[in-house]
Amino acid sequence: MSAAEAGGVFLRARGRTLDAFSSEKEREWKGPFYFIQGADPQFGLMKAWSTGDCDSGGDEWKQEIRLTEQAVQAINKLSPKPKFFVLCGDLVHAMPGTPWRKEQTEDLQRVLRTVDSEIPLVLVSGNHDVGNVPTPETIAEFQQTWGDDYFSFWVGGVLFLVLNSQFLYDASMCPALKQAQDQWLDQQLSIAGQRKCQHAIVFQHIPLFLQSVDEDDSYFNLTKLVRKEMADKFSRAGIKAVFSGHYHRNAGGTYQDLDMVVSSAIGCQLGKDTHGLRVVVVTAEKIVHRYYSLDELSEKGIEDDLMDLLKKK
């Protein structure tokens, strides 16, 4: 893969924005639209999970290749086309500096290059992408491979914010980078807070919470102190929804007017959900979302009630 080829597909998040969309043209509301959210293709986890060796067992990922190919084929068949396809982190299983990372990354990029060129890819960093405790080096590697680790973009009058949630989990090895994201986020939220957008939506890998803002701390959520601070900050700014992955199961809840949406994985399932994708319809008044198994989306497409929402002006 040439640098130009990689840049055209995967390095579109640059300068803290996404070059797939013109911020000037996209700041006005033009009517309902939809996008597709996926999470955790995580090439290598299915083998590692099945062998009980999640640290070093991910030496095969044929199943994940097949599932991600199915996801891409299902998305490419949709009509009208989604505005974009966002992948909410854990793109591959191998952590920075571990075996199989280069091979997993190359295979995932090969599959993602088959996404319809008219459907921009939006790539979010997860803990397996930048490390549980990220460093300046692991962040730089992500940026060189996939683009910026946090950025914003406009689509149809809606402001989308992509965050690096590892900074909220453990930024002890890169405090200056966390501080930079914090300052940038406050600037972005001030735009949302002034209601200069139809809606504002956040993408991040780790959920604020799985069911309730008051739930216990776990591997799969942010700590109570951080989650409450972020939830209050988002709520004050009028953020309508936060979409995440990481849990490998569907979950979610509400806090004030904020919808916390946790989507299960394209790849390895840790619960009883199916490999799938989430369809998200944005109307003037609300954000409606539904999780589909890959088979459902491939065979039947989007249901009529969601399609009807797209017709309302």
* Average confidence (pLDDT) over 156-183: 98
Contact 258, 276 (CB under 8 A): no
In-domain check, residue 82: yes
Domain assignment of residue 110, given as a range? 34-310
Tokens of 253: 């809840």
Q: Letter for the amino acid at 89?
A: G
- Per residue in 51-99, pLDDT (tens digit) is 988 887 789 999 999 999 999 999 999 999 999 999 999 999 999 999 9
Give the count of domains, the chain.
1
- Residue 218: predicted pLDDT: 98
The burial of 306, by beta-carbon neighbours within 10 Å (0-12 exposed, 13-18 middle, 19 or more buried), is given as middle
Query: CB 50: neighbour CB atoms within 10 A?
Result: 12
pTM to 2 decimal places: 0.97
- Per residue in 217-264, pLDDT (tens digit) is 999 999 999 999 999 999 999 999 999 999 999 999 999 999 999 999
How far is the C-alpha of 60 from the C-alpha of 166, rounded, in Å? 26
- Per residue in 297-307, pLDDT (tens digit) is 999 999 999 99
CA distances from 119 to 76, 132, 163, 178 (A): 8, 30, 21, 30
In-domain check, residue 132: yes
Q: Letter for the amino acid at 64?
A: E
For 290, the 3-state DSSP assignment is strand
In-domain check, residue 168: yes
In-domain check, residue 214: yes
CATH number at residue 240: 3.60.21.10
How far is the C-alpha of 13 from the C-alpha of 170, rounded, in Å? 23
Q: How confident is the model at residue 2 (pLDDT cuts 50, 70, 90)?
A: very low
In-domain check, residue 25: no
Q: What kind and span of H or E run contains 200?
A: strand 199-203
In-domain check, residue 14: no
